Chains A and B, each alone.
Chain A
Amino acid sequence: MTKKKLKKYIFIELLFTLIFIGIFLCLLVFNQNNEKGQKFKNPASLKGGTIATWSGSLSNQIASKSIEEAHFAFYTNPVDMFQDLRTRKVDACILPSYRIKALKNDYPDLSILDQSLGMSQTSFIFSDKSNELRKQFNEFLEAKKADGTMEMLEEKWFSNPSNYANIPYDKAQLSGENGTIDVAIAADAIPYEYIRDGQIIGYEPEFLDLFCQEYGYNYKMQNMQFDAMLMGISTSKYDIGLSNVEYTEERAQKVNYGSFMREEPIVAIVNNGNPYSKGLIEDLKLSFSKTFIVGSRWKGLIHGLLITLLISGSSIIFGSIQGYFFFLWTKNYPGIFKRIIIFFSNIFLGLPIVVFIMITYYILFGKSRLSGVFISIIAFTFMFSIYVHDCLHASIKTVPPEQREAALALGYTEGQTLVHILIPQALDSFLPSYKNEIISLLKSTSIVGYIAVNDLTRQGDLIRATTYDAFFPLITVALVYLLLTWIIIYFIKLLLSYVNPKRRKPSQILKGIDTNSDPL
């Protein structure tokens, strides 16, 4: 492909993107108008309605007891709940009250029904190995409740919920003389734990600081999704889990709760139709600044992008090398090794990648404390090497078998035949399928959030969870993936034309040869 053609190609891709963004904005404007819905006065009036709850949570259990004939929709983050409440896909959200208090300004249209449905009790959770820590924690909590520290913390973090961006917080200096604790946290619940300026702060982190100071610990904190946190504690990958974990009997069978730190009423949040929009442009401006500017959130996105690049880049490089060796191996010594590769190849065909990654992280490496990034690279490298192996075999088959015989008859060994004769001719069909595998690997890495890795997708989710605004995080993440895909496509096209032997000039073909000298 010539430079000119490539430029044209890129131009067209960009044009299409702009058109898509245009259509998208139109839909957004169209979505602004909402007819007024029903008004709800108390939980009893929700009878027969559609209720959004957090799957597996206490709110879920309480709601199913207290609202008659309700249909439940299950969510894993409040942003989506509120969004659907706004557009009236659901009639109410059942959540602990703090979830909405801090966001009153952002959601003036949503209101809390006065009557609470029940109480949730929260605490830190501990892995089976951390019984000692749990005892110390309970002791410490008892003492702090007695000396008024807990009251002070309550006042600091919960009295003025909309002030969450300005609450002072300094991370304590920790000596770590008695060791380091592995902490798992799902930092997406203002004001319990959330990210500000790239730092995890909140009511629970501050208490953790105080605790560690007292007992001479240091800690390593890993931010992840709530479910990953629960799993990490129940498999003892981490020692302590922080995420204002509500007490439920079901969870108590898998993880160990400390004594309760706080109680929080569980309430129904409804959409009573107060206007919230300040006009599209204003909304977008606000949304943009919330997503990128406030608390330097763009840094998180950049960091996520680097993680995504690190995981996919390393897996592509190592996987390609490993896949090439697998290929040489199965080509020269078919038999048991080939069977093994075919076995794995079928596994990757049939297994959702997210399941494979979780099995690798929680089961295969369940007991090890290797970082999620490292384990992702191992898993994706292995997976990619199998793909590369399969692609190489498929493309070698496109070379006529006579080519191999001719090379052998000339005296090339099997290995030389493969490297000098077969592979060069197979590249034409190999590179396009290789490109597809690279792109699908890049996209597959978006699931590493499940194993506590904060890649690009996960960083977008985090922003979404803190700002309660989906538009810019999702669009930004989508555009970055698309951009990366284009770069890969462009690069492979370039490579294809580079490896095309016919591109060479006569002077390159006859390099180092004096064609005028008398032959022999």
Chain B
Amino acid sequence: MRKSIIKLENVWKTYTMGNVEVNALQGLNLEVKEGEFLAIMGPSGSGKSTAVNMIGCLDVPTKGRILLDAHDISKLGESELAQIRGRKIGFIFQQFNLIPTLTALENVALPIVFQSVDRETRRKRSTELLEIVELGDRMEHKPTELSGGQQQRVAIARALANNPEVILADEPTGNLDSSTGETVMSFLQKLNRKEGKTIILVTHDKNVATHADRIEFLKDGKIIKSLNRKGG
């Protein structure tokens, strides 16, 4: 049995807008094992992004516990959360979210900058990563000079910069055509298979979800169905 890396226990998230309360998560329970490739599916507004943001330490739950490596993150302060985000988590977004004023190489190096690693190491590591995502010839390009698929590959490289254990991808193919999306997915799959990275993927697309080992279906902030594609 593989070690559990992420565990959500009865997690609630309530947003208050004026006097209206929205329960984005309503007692969500979820466990992710080390090296697992998990897909989360569900209708719009079902709380997928909210859940992923919690796992990524971008937000803390209103109620319940989130365990990362058996540590409860709901109790941590801003700077410790930032530290965990930088070291253990790699984010990939639907809109790529690269910094427009920085080159591909600088974008990839940015998470390492926040960890105060020296320049030379940073440069070496980011160059390597861009070569892995097959963008060795686009290192000095700004995001606007890259295609969507290329930008998302830069984002993947950036997510890997600090060699995190977990990759969180919130609809990474949502803005890409299916064949480009397929390339991106094959990179993610490779990361999972070859590097043993734990990947949590949010998607609307059944075909995309088929890359995962397990699919969880979310509705109204709760898991309503699980699908195991591989025995385990």
A and B interact: no
